[in-house]
Structure 1
């Protein structure tokens, strides 16, 4: 099967809904700030049940595709856990391809136009060794804005077999980031908002906010030339550099990683623990 793009349009997807090789995943998840400065996490399963793109199945990042025993939420699960759950959804090695979307920013508003829950799941799939996976540009919000069909009927696919091998080069640990602090060949990108970046970051980081890459009105990504401007400013498209993206908990970082891949920078890894892990270790430096 031919390779699909990293990011696909709603029009493209609409023409594929009847394709038996399509595996369409809804990765909706919620992270809402609380008054005490924390965050309330919840599954988007109920949202999916109220309406989704026809044929889609629900992929539960919070409860099934993360390590629930880890001290930091949304930590990559064991390969065995991930493969067990994702193959139950029909994702595997047969002649299929995957498109992931989420509904989250349709709820939180136009200030947050990014499908970063979708990009998180797409990144996990690539990390585990699956190639043919794309994220839907504009997500469910754009799909609905265009008046396209919405279904409440649960989707399903036959159970699959998954044999791809993990790609360790896509993943970095706290120790890897510490080692990179003095490495001029590594660029650390904080993917959070400018406000969050200014309040505390890993030393030497630059800021490319993940929320700035899409048009709030159309919900579409800006064109590649405009996207390149943001990353070129920090030198992240230099083919001789390694890029590490991070954020608060390894979600928004995957959106920047995806766009870097789209722009031709493939030496990109995500710091899974991100600021949640970094700030929990009082021995590690912070820059403001």
Structure 2
């Protein structure tokens, strides 16, 4: 229960900056500026849906989460880790977290080809205890979740997912690599 509370708290902190990027769902009318809630557009249901999707994914995958801010601190400290961008090469080439490698994955595990799975596992390297950080586009994107499941299945033990993805990284004002 403590872990679930921690996951929810982390997600809601990220969700505040990502609510405009989550897309989908029914859109409510924008609230007055002094309205309570997390969603910038007034659609708290979208935030809740993304939160529940994330909580279920983390519970299913048995991996850890890392916030955008903590990942930036790890990079600044030059922690030994591999950062994997699971987005298509076109997105990776445009904007990526510094030092990230690209291993494109689909949004659903059952859509993963054997070639994608092999390339992904190869990108992780041979050290199964090395810290692996996975990210994709934004909270509702599940490419990084697919990567976490594949990494766990392959025997990697130190898996983190940065749920806000490249959008949260950019929203935080952090530098990116790529052609922009």
Distance 1:232 1:193 in 2: 17
Distance 1:74 1:191 in 2: 23
Q: How high is the TM-score relative to the length of structure 1?
A: 0.41
In structure 2, the CA distance between the partners of 1:276 and 1:233, relative to structure 1 (3 Å rule), is closer
| Counterparts of residues 257-276 of structure 1 (less than 5 Å) | 257-276=148-167
Partner residue, 1:176: 70
In structure 2, the CA distance between the partners of 1:74 and 1:262, relative to structure 1 (3 Å rule), is farther
Look up the SS of the partner of 2:72 in the other structure: helix
Q: From the two aligned structures, give the one with the greater strand fraction.
A: 1
Which protein has the larger Cα radius of gyration, Structure 1 or Structure 2? 1
Distance 1:181 1:71 in 2: 29
Distance 1:174 1:234 in 2: 20
Task: Answer yes or no: is the 8 Å Cα contact 2:64–2:161 preserved in 1.
Answer: yes
Task: Answer yes or no: is the 8 Å Cα contact 2:103–2:123 preserved in 1.
Answer: no
Distance 1:203 1:180 in 2: 12
The number of residue pairs the alignment matches comes to: 140
1:169-188 alpha-carbon deviations (Å, 9 max, x no partner): 61101121112214352111
Q: From the two aligned structures, give the one with the greater helix fraction.
A: 2
Runs of 5+ consecutive residues of structure 2 not aligned to the other structure: 1-20, 27-36
- Structure with the bigger RCO (C-alpha within 8 Å, sep 6+) is 2
Partner residue, 1:239: 128
Partner residue, 1:69: 38
Runs of 5+ consecutive residues of structure 1 not aligned to the other structure: 1-37, 44-67, 83-120, 135-166
Q: Does 1:203 align with 2:98?
A: yes
Distance 1:170 1:281 in 2: 21
Task: Answer yes or no: is the 8 Å Cα contact 1:228–1:263 preserved in 2.
Answer: no
Distance 1:259 1:179 in 2: 26
Partner residue, 1:15: none
Distance 2:88 2:147 in 1: 12
- Structure 1 residue 239, shift from structure 2 partner: 1.8
Task: Answer yes or no: is the 8 Å Cα contact 1:213–1:222 preserved in 2.
Answer: no
Distance 2:131 2:39 in 1: 27
Look up the SS of the partner of 1:245 in the other structure: strand
- Structure 1 residue 261, shift from structure 2 partner: 1.0
| Counterparts of residues 1-288 of structure 1 (less than 5 Å) | 40-42=23-25, 69=38, 77=51, 121=53, 124-125=55-56, 127=58, 130=59, 133=60, 170-182=64-76, 183-211=78-106, 221-223=112-114, 227-235=117-125, 237-250=126-139, 251=141, 252-282=143-173, 284-288=174-178
Taking only aligned residues, the RMSD between alpha carbons, in angstroms, comes to 3.4
Look up the SS of the partner of 1:210 in the other structure: coil
